[in-house]
Structure 1
Amino acid sequence: MQPSPLSRAILAAGILTVIGGGAMGSMPGVVAGSVILLFLFSRAIIFQKAENQVIGTFHLKRECDNHIVRQYGTITVTLSADLDLPDGYLISIRDMPGPGFEVPDNHPEFDFRDATDLTYRIQARARGSISFFGATVEMVNRFFSTAIIFTRPEDCMPEVQVQPRGSRVVLEGESLGYGESTSRRLISPSGTVVRSFREYMPGDDPRQIDWKITAKTKRLTIREVYAQAGEIPVVVLDIPPDSGLAEQLIGFAAGAAEDSLKTSHSVSLLAIAGGNVIRFLPDERQASRVLAAIRDLPPSARWNQFYHYLSENDARRVKLSLPAGSPLHRWYDAVIQNRGIPSFEAECIRAFARTKGTAVLLFTAADGDTSHLGMVARAAKRIGLSVHLRIPAHSAASIRPGAFPIDTIEVI
């Protein structure tokens, strides 16, 4: 609690009146000074009660339009608050983004008398899981002011998953830029070209740690690499029922296929609608044919629904949580032993096996039942392909990290 200039003046007047009255032997002067000090003390008690009222009734809600973003991506944050506003007080609320965020505009703050919410934009600078610090409530009246910092778990939500930015593919003979001509001589065990070394940051792949340099510098150091040219992606396009979303995903898939053909010899296309295979084009080298196959995809209904299909890993996890020997435990054990690979997953395995692809780019709106996405990912993993999910911004909150065997998730 900080006194205002008015309170300091009243305090000084009260003290001087008491001292002056005592020095002159004037009892009325001492009484008058004491009344002034008691008045200021009573205002402090009233302010403290109002502060406790705000602390007890304050509720904060923070929403982000994206919960999974790429590094340096922009997030729109909506902050709303609810509290019992005491009479005669000015209250302002300031958001406190974490150290991994940067606010390009002014400080995110609003006056509670004029508005109950605030919308602002931040940029994700660090990688990994980033949360907010909380919020600060500033109370001011004519006599005192205070700043209350709320750092409860609910005041620091939500967490934002920031994916590292992908390194661009460097073609043979392409310049790396000034000062980097010798870095082509450094080859990582995976066959990619090492660009440089830097200190480890949260969110980096632990497999990129260079242990020799780490031992020399006494700090975790990772290799920054360029992706190896010539990789062949398999573009999987999950067509949603909504025509607007379908056009958006088709555009992104067409762009990814066209860009892939600039750096690889061919690209494969698998178009699905939920659990239905619509079109399959393996190892196509002509961009015109790939783009025509994507652009001419007809609107497709999802005839096969899996209704939250229970995968084998999910069944094993549920089985382990049940008492051994119980009827449900025996039932799950029988299901695991007798069930086979779903027909849609087997169809995806056959399609992936016919291609020369090394990675799956899965474009989907992730709406409704997403069991078929898990089948696509498991089919790719069965034959050794990496899986990279590409989803619109509004669908980021519907994907739980770790729900499917997916290597990366990127908002498009």
Structure 2
Amino acid sequence: MKVKRCTRIIIAAFLLFLILTFFLDKPDLLAVSLSLWVLIIWRYIIFFKRLKLVVKSVDVKRIIDKSLVRQGMICMVTTKISLTIEEGMTAIYSEMVPVGVQIEDGTNQTDPLFSGAHKLTLTYSISPISHGSITFPGGSVTVQDPFFETTIRLSTSSYNGPVLLVQPAPFFEKKRSDRQSQGVETNTIQVQRGSTIKTYRKYFQDDDSRLIDWKLSAKRDTLYVREFTSLESNPPLLIIDLPDVDQDYDEKHFSKLVMAISAQIENVAREGTILSLLIISGPNIITFLSHEYYPGSWMTVIREQFHPRIRLHHLYRTKQRIELRKIVKDFQNLNKNRVNNSIIRYYSLLNSVFKNHLLDNGKNRFSSQISRIFLSVRPGFITLYSLCDGDVSHIKEIAHQARFDKIQFVIQTTQKISSHKLCAQYSALRKETIEEIP
């Protein structure tokens, strides 16, 4: 229950007259203050009675064009509302959106309705993100007059429903648009499957009838279809580089980074594709999700892990292999006749250590971890979100391995692109695609 401006003014006048009554000792002011309080109670009783009449008059009939849809497909919802608004009141009816569903087009809310009988129709389209049985929870009515305003949730059995059954979308599928079949343009989804049978399941509407296993269906007296193992795909890899908690960072840039990542995950969830997620903080790996399909798992990990972290390890002390080769080459070209023996022994020791490291194909721990992740995921596309503040040696290492494995690599950062061209620390990233987050 909310009080409107008129009610707040009356309450303020009531308190003012009540205070003046005690200070000025005038009974007339007390009578005025009590009359104002009676006015508020009287208006509340009138509002409550009219509110009950409005809620009783609400009749909702909701129709969906499909009772069974695939995950991520479009379903049209038509809601017919009839209600009567009492004199001196206005109302707004809103449809409550089920959990795991997003509105694609249309509106689920009426314009303000004034006194009188109304019959309205709301039409909007939804796209289910999660699979399973989805029940429409009903709606809500916001009623107000010049003194009070309240919202009533209509979630009983007479207002909720129907039930929408959402089937899980296949993991690996591609969409062929505008394909002609006997002169008719169609828009179908073809699942890329292998030749090995993975499992059997019950037949659903829109399943290919050629996949029905007739022997098993006759034995069970129910239609069953064969599910095949999917062909190997190359899902995208999303890398999130969290800032160092001990280093000053721009909170506005960090907020932009959060919004960009949320938008990217929302797009992937809408498309119904698989995503691999890697969260790091410098060369420290926080968590890793491989070939994850459900958006709820992505959002759970991001909610729990998306905050500045303590960086226990750094890579700015670790020399790159190209730098080690340069040191070894400089020692070989060193004129030993012009330096003393102590300097020669020092460079000889460095040369032996670096040379053995190069011959053993040695890598630091972070490089080995990234190499194993790339080998297990085999991503076709890598997007790295980072503030690019301070040391970027770990980003150089990821870019180097992506270039070696011939994987497209894009860096999304909040800094201006011109800064990457001017600063020497970004020289190793000039060959990569660097995009600025607006």
Instruction: Name the TM tier (shorter chain).
Output: 0.3 to 0.5
Bigger radius of gyration among the two: 2
TM-score by length of 1: 0.43
